[in-house]
Amino acid sequence: MGSRAAACLAENGHSVLVLEKRGGPGGKTACTGILGQECIDAFGIPDSVILRKANSATLFSPSGDRLRLRREEPQAGIIDRRAFDVSMAERAQTAGAEYHYKSRVTGVTVEKNGAKITFERAGKPEIIAARAVVVACGFNPGLLEKLGMGVYSDFTIGAQSEVAAPGLEEVEVYFGSAAPGFFAWLVPTVPPAARAGLLSREAPGRYLKKWLAELEESGKIRSADVKISYGGIPLKPLKKTYTERLIALGDAAGQVKPTSGGGIYYGLLCADIAAGVLHRALEDDDLSAKRLARYERAWRQKLGRELRTGYWFRRIYERLGEGKIDRIFQLIKAGGIDEALLKADDISFDWHGRTIMKLLKYRMVAGTFGKIKLPFKDETIDRGRPECLK
């Protein structure tokens, strides 16, 4: 999400340098790469980076029961993550941002009149000075703690592989033993290619290898002998996402959906907020922690409720056994709840809090979860998108 913030700041006349540890715009290797249509429309995601559109998905319960969700219009786009990152970087570079690749940041020191960034470029140590720093390094507990941002209080690990899945036409999501407490996914890209992955707090590679072997045995994929990529995913945001002259953004800040682990849309929203706060702070030459606290207040006003609701539900879900998950599937199908939710105009791919609350209004479903205390008295969620410098 650093490229989005870089573009916004460069377009408003600021000198921007992006330090990227990879050899070029890369993309998270363990990223599923599904963007909701709302995100695609709001940020003008180009068609050139979208591999295919999705308007349906099939969910599998632990016992194999199926729940198919479908709408006539596209709900999401499955993207080429590398192409997406390249397009974001190109926009920033067109606006005047400079990129240094193969540059791994090793530390940031805040001083009275600026910040010093130490990094290794092509294996050689370098130091540069900056007025302010945006930390958009993804899941990086060591660096964030070193910068005084604290630690992630909860996180999980994603594991994913590129597989050949002939005949796969829609997204499939698997609950149960494939990924206890979480879920596994099979996402079609360019036929016959697909992405197969899962989330797990421990041994994600072992779970994925086992599940891939089952998919191969059932004929779902051609081979389970594939390379596995891993990535850390924060489930709760950092307690503090700013200090003097520093702002943390995206996965680095923990601005990620606790339900699905998706972070692109929320990261883009927060990049706009960060760029707006920094632009005005730079113009006023006030980069104090007190001034940059406006960033945290703004993004938490927009996303805080959604993230808290999602995390609350995530913890409840992790306590469910497979029998209860099967029961919930049965109740949803028998009660026509799936159809009712699909017809609701305010149900969104990107905002899960409202869906969770609507689902729990059905007493038969809520009863399956046992005694629970709702996190909020109402369900209002701010879904507006800020402009870069709103």
Residue 164 has pLDDT above 60, yes or no: yes
Structure tokens at 148: 């005084």
Question: At 384, is the pLDDT very low, low, confident or very high (cuts 50, 70, 90)?
Answer: very low
Residue 147 has a pLDDT of 87
Residue 359 has pLDDT above 90, yes or no: no
Q: Where are the domains of the chain?
A: 2-305
Average confidence score pLDDT of the chain:
91
CA distance 61 to 328: 9
Question: At 382, is the pLDDT very low, low, confident or very high (cuts 50, 70, 90)?
Answer: very low
Residue 374 has a pLDDT of 66
Residue 368 has a pLDDT of 84
The residue type of 109 is T
CA distance 224 to 256: 29
Structure tokens at 198: 């899962």
Determine what percent of the chain is predicted with pLDDT higher than 90: 77
CA distance 63 to 106: 48
Calculate mean pLDDT across residues 186-198.
97
Question: At 361, is the pLDDT very low, low, confident or very high (cuts 50, 70, 90)?
Answer: confident
Residue 290 has a pLDDT of 97
Question: What Cα–Cα distance (Å) separates residue 86 from each residue in 31, 47, 161, 251?
Answer: 15, 13, 21, 18
Calculate mean pLDDT across residues 355-366.
84
Q: What is Dmax (Cα atoms) for the chain?
A: 65
Calculate mean pLDDT across residues 312-325.
94
For the ranges 162-176, 181-195, 342-356, which has the lowest average pLDDT?
A: 342-356
Calculate mean pLDDT across residues 363-370.
80
3-state secondary structure of 245: coil
Exposure of 51 by Cβ count < 10 A (0-12 exposed, 13-18 middle, 19+ buried)? middle
Question: Is the preceding omega at residue 141 within 30 degrees of 0, hence cis?
Answer: no
pLDDT digits (tens, 9 = 90+) for 221-261: 999 999 999 999 999 999 999 999 999 999 999 999 999 99
DSSP 289: H
Question: At 26, is the pLDDT very low, low, confident or very high (cuts 50, 70, 90)?
Answer: low
pLDDT digits (tens, 9 = 90+) for 272-303: 999 999 999 999 999 999 999 999 999 999 99
- DSSP state string for 198-226: EEESS-HHHHHHHHHHHHHHTTSSS-S--
Fold of 2-305: FAD/NAD(P)-binding domain (3.50.50)
CA distance 154 to 175: 21
Residue 365 has pLDDT above 50, yes or no: yes
State whether the Cα torsion 129-133-137-143 is positive or negative. positive
Calculate mean pLDDT across residues 155-166.
97
